[in-house]
Structure 1
Amino acid sequence: MHIALAFGAPLGRFTVGGRFEGRLPPLWRGLAIVQACILAAMAWVILNEGSPDSWLTVVTVITAISLIANAASPSKPERLLWTPVLFLMTVAALVVTVIR
């Protein structure tokens, strides 16, 4: 999604609190690329068996905070899309963190 946003997909209502209905402005598109890189790094930590436990904990906490932030979003489409996705991501991160 963040890559699509960066390339101008009109999905602004699903991100940043629905601040932009269609395409994101150029600065926000650049930030979407940064967010995509952060998410890729977080996925790498979760999937990499050699990741230190402290990194797993950080990823789990960031995911849980993202869940709370998206659940509180003023944008209904953002809440409806990302709250369940981030809930599942948080549960998955917790499971990986605990079973290690």
Structure 2
Amino acid sequence: MTTEATARRTKDRPDRPRVAIVLAIGLLIVVAFQAALTLGAPFGVAAMGGTNPGSLPGAVRLVTGLAALVWFLAALVVLARGGRALVPVPPAVARVGTWVLVGLLGLGALMNFASSSPWERFGWGPFTLIMFGLCLALAKSGPLAHPAPRQ
């Protein structure tokens, strides 16, 4: 394979920024849901197995608050991986972070589909599976192409 062909293969895919943006929007939906739970919204039936209908107890709200922060950071990582960074994220952190997110979303999809809560099985399960697929595509998209220096 020629050097030019290799360069073409590893250049930024034109769909990478779009995938990253759609994935980040999905993650921000999760952030909004977790934040709502933290603030006492009565969505407990659609979270954590549905064992807490209504508002979540105080200790669980702390967990959802931390989860909201983690998912927000994940959105920043995927935007950086897609070449649309809002804050500086080292490329290695974006690459490894995206693969970690692939694992978390895959596990999350399995847990949602196995949940006793219909909201999780039929709502969050498919949603998380789509997010997993987007994240996997983003993680496998190869190294970011850097623009040529201006002369």
Q: Normalising by structure 2, what TM-score? A: 0.63
1:92 aligned residue (134, 137, 141): 134
Structure 1 ranges of 4+ moved more than 3 A: none
Q: How large is the RMSD of aligned CA atoms in angstroms? A: 1.2
Farther-moved stretch of structure 1 (4-13 vs 35-44): 35-44
Offset of 1:72 from its aligned partner? 0.5
**1:55, distance to aligned residue in structure 2 (A):** 1.9
* Aligned-partner Cα distance in 2 for 1:61–1:99: 16
Report the CA distance between 1:41 and its aligned residue: 1.4
2: CA distance between counterparts of 1:42 and 1:11? Answer: 23
Gaps of 5+ in 1: none
Shift of 1:54: 2.0
> Residue 46 of structure 2 aligns with which residue?
14
Using the TM superposition, give the Cα deviation of residue 51 of structure 1 relative to its aligned residue in structure 2, in angstroms.
Answer: 3.6
Cα distance in 2 between the residues matched to 1:51 and 1:65: 24
Letter in 1 for 2:101: V
User: What is the aligned counterpart of 2:102 among 60, 63, 66?
Assistant: 60
Letter in 2 for 1:3: A
Compute the TM-score of the two structures, normalised by the length of structure 1: 0.93
